């Protein structure tokens, strides 16, 4: 069972996918769009990726505030979740993504990726961290 992990942002969507055993997340790509409101091509690309990887579920990062409240970005993410569900006919589960971008930045810094290059990869790595956190919790619950 493969799972697609998404880090949804105003202009980009980081994409990761799990291995077939659901143990490890790996980065796939960053989908970029010119306008925050233009989602048709983004949804089409996600649908294409889900189909090509044989995905059974999508995990979508949910950007709660640090004090556990939900802001405008959460509402936009829930709307995107509904669009994804309609477009792909797959279950789309929300996953708390607090601090994933910070962790992605730290990971790149520790890996020696230059500051100028980090912006190119941060969304993809954040998607990997979202999906890996989900996979780890599911595995722990099975054991």
Model confidence pLDDT, tens digit, residues 34-45: 887 789 999 999
pTM (two decimals): 0.86
How does residue 107 score in pLDDT terms, banded at 50, 70 and 90? Answer: confident
141 vs 108 pLDDT, higher one: 141
pLDDT of amino acid 137: 85
**Please, what are the domains in the chain?**
2-142 (3.30.420.140)
pLDDT of residue 103 exceeding 70, the answer is no
pLDDT of amino acid 99: 63
CA distance 66 to 99: 9
* Cα within 13 Å of Cα(21), Cβ side: 4
Beta strand 55-62 with 2-8: parallel, antiparallel or unpaired?
parallel
- What DSSP element (H or E) covers 14? strand 12-18
pLDDT of amino acid 21: 92
Per-residue pLDDT, averaged over 5-22, amounts to: 93
Q: Among residues 12, 1, 19, 2, which one has the least CA distance to residue 104?
A: 12
pLDDT of amino acid 130: 92
54 vs 10 pLDDT, higher one: 54
Residue 75: is it exposed, middle or buried by C-beta count within 10 angstroms (0-12/13-18/19+)? exposed
CA distance 28 to 122: 12
The pLDDT tens digits of the residues spanning 58-98 come to 999 998 877 878 788 889 999 999 999 999 999 999 998 87
Length reported for the chain: 143
- Neighbour tally for 122: CB within 10 Å: 23
pLDDT of amino acid 101: 66
CA distance 84 to 34: 19
pLDDT of amino acid 1: 85
pLDDT of amino acid 66: 75
């Amino acid at each position: 069972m493969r799972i697609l992990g998404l880090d949804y942002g105003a202009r980009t969507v980081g994409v990761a996918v799990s291995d077939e055993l659901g143990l490890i997340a790996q980065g796939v790509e960053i989908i970029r769009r010119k306008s925050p409101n233009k989602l048709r091509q983004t949804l089409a690309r996600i649908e294409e990726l889900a189909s090509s990887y044989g995905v059974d579920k999508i995990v979508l990062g949910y950007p709660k505030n640090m004090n556990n409240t939900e802001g405008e970005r959460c509402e936009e993410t829930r709307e995107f979740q509904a669009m994804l569900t309609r477009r792909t006919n797959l279950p789309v589960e929300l996953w708390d993504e607090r601090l994933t971008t910070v962790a992605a930045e730290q990971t790149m810094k520790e890996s020696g990726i230059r500051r100028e290059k980090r912006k190119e990869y941060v969304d993809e790595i954040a998607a990997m961290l979202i999906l890996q956190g989900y996979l780890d919790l599911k595995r722990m619950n099975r054991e």
